[in-house]
Amino acid sequence: MSERAQRFTAVAIVLHWAIAAAILFMLPLGFWMHGEAEDGNTSQGVFQAYQLHKSVGLTILALSLVRLGWRLLNPPPALPPHMPGWERFAAKVTHWLFYALMLGLPLSGWLFVSAGWSIHDDAPLAVPTRWFGLFEVPHLFGLDRASADVREDAADIAFNAHAILAFAMIGLALLHVAAALKHHLFDRDAVLAHMVPGLPGPGESEPAPKQPLRLAVLGGGLTLVAVAVIALGFNAVQIASRAAPAAPYTIEIAEPEAPLAPEATPDPVPGGVTAWRVDQRSSAITFAYVYEDESGSTDFSGRFARWRADIRFDPNDLDGSSVVVTIETGSAITGIAAHDGALPGPEWFDAAAHPVATFRSTRFRARDGGYEVDGDLTIKSETRNVDMPFRLTIEGDRAAATGTIEIDRRDFGIGEGSGDDLISRDIEISWRVDADRVR
């Protein structure tokens, strides 16, 4: 019998140990992540752990597909002739169950993240999946565009399946290891030696003949596996160092469907500039930023759920026009629990000490077919003069205005001292205001 027939091929051995190492890394990481999220820990370390977990899981899926294809093309060594029928049957069932789990675990995880739903917060959680930061992985079945009910149901089913398969993998792995040790220590056959390079089978009197190509594949492949394990371990240590839970905040974030009503309806001024009443149902103040870590850059956006504006504007009387916007800083919402929990805190908006941010205009002027308003933007008691270009259309008693500016959050002490350099300094603020003329 040739050496190829007596042992697994070099490629099969490398794939076996690569997948085994990845699974051994993933199982404790997954249970740790779930426990931290259950305890309300939404630190950047936990967020990065999820990103790493997704990347390694997709790698396991790809390697398992390759391993399955290789197995079909290259049959494994024959089982020892002394094995009874029931044990042969159990061995074959166990191996095919492993393939089912190696494919089912990452697929259920992929389905879960595709739903974009947090089972811990029972709220949308649309976070892109980037494979080790190199490219974005598409969502399965277009779930990211489905209704909230469909996404919630899909996330619940996928997560429960993922958890059940994880426990099944643990049980099957323990059974597999116990069976391999039984064959080597008690049955004294070569089952374990077939998969462990350099391990002589019991009773082997002569070493297997050297094959340069096989040795090269084994040496190179297993070296890459070892390097990957070290890199993952180093990454895990870094993640753990960033996983300290954020201090709890007592600010209650307003719900998006409960916008802050104006303190008073602006009254028309006889002979003065036209007053406008904001339509809160179709108006919004939003912000966008970039989160960047080892897995790559991810664009996020949010909105302020509670704000009001006192607008007095006449395109024929720009000098007499004015606007004052008041925003509740504690109402910032992104849909990402880790970010929403931190935004009201002292290192970010400090909503307890600075509950509102304001913009007060100082001058309006026409510009490039639109308008520009200069004014003072105050956040956390820091005031900066900003120029905001905007487009305006007025049809009868209805007006619609849109504009976008970019600010440096450090100018207002936002995020300063938090040690969080993962959030971009430049923040894009966009706004749309629909308003009705007050008569």
Q: From CA 357, how far away is CA 275, in angstroms rounded?
A: 22
Residue 75's contacts (CB-CB under 8 Å, 6 or more residues apart) are: none
Tell me, what's the pLDDT at 243? 59
User: Parallel, antiparallel, or unpaired for β 296-304 and 284-293?
Assistant: antiparallel
Tell me, what's the pLDDT at 270? 46
SS3 231: helix
Q: What are phi and psi of 386, to 5 degrees?
A: -130, 150
CA 371 to chain centre: 39
Nearest-CA neighbor of 140 among 152, 129, 156?
129
Q: Which residues pair with 276 in a beta bridge?
A: 311, 437
CA 246 to chain centre: 18
User: Parallel, antiparallel, or unpaired for β 356-367 and 370-379?
Assistant: antiparallel
Nearest-CA neighbor of 331 among 430, 409, 252?
252
Tell me, what's the pLDDT at 11? 93
Which two three-digit tokens encode residue 428?
A: 């894009």
Tell me, what's the pLDDT at 244? 55
- What domains can you pick out in the chain, each with its CATH number? 3-241 (1.20.950), 275-437 (2.40.128.110)
User: Parallel, antiparallel, or unpaired for β 307-312 and 275-278?
Assistant: antiparallel
pLDDT digits (tens), the chain, 439 positions: 334 446 788 999 999 999 999 999 999 998 888 887 776 665 666 777 888 899 999 999 999 999 999 999 988 888 888 888 898 898 889 999 999 999 999 999 999 989 888 776 666 666 778 888 788 889 898 887 888 888 889 999 999 999 999 999 999 999 999 988 888 888 788 788 788 887 776 655 455 567 788 888 888 988 999 999 999 888 888 777 665 554 433 333 333 334 444 444 454 444 568 899 999 888 989 998 887 765 567 777 888 988 999 999 999 999 999 999 999 998 888 867 667 777 888 888 888 899 999 999 999 999 888 999 999 999 999 999 999 999 999 999 999 999 999 999 989 988 876 546 678 889 999 999 999 998 6
Q: Is the dihedral of CA 109, 112, 113, 117 positive or negative?
A: negative
Tell me, what's the pLDDT at 189? 81
Tell me, what's the pLDDT at 2? 39
Exposure letters 51-67 (e unless 16+ CB within 10 A, then b): bbbbbbbbbbbebbeeb
Tell me, what's the pLDDT at 260? 45
SS3 41: coil
Tell me, what's the pLDDT at 257? 37
Strand residue runs (E) in 247-381: 275-278, 284-293, 296-304, 307-312, 322-328, 332-333, 356-367, 370-379
SS3 393: strand
In contact, 94 and 172? CB cutoff 8 Å? yes
Neighbours of 109 (CB within 10 A): 25
Tell me, what's the pLDDT at 265? 47
Tell me, what's the pLDDT at 264? 46
pTM of the entire predicted model: 0.60
Q: From CA 418, how far away is CA 439, in angstroms rounded?
A: 48
Q: How many CA atoms lie within 13 A of 428 on its CB side?
A: 9
Tell me, what's the pLDDT at 124? 67
Tell me, what's the pLDDT at 250? 34
SS3 185: helix
Q: Which residue has the tokens 């070296």?
A: 223
Q: From CA 162, how far away is CA 103, in angstroms rounded?
A: 11
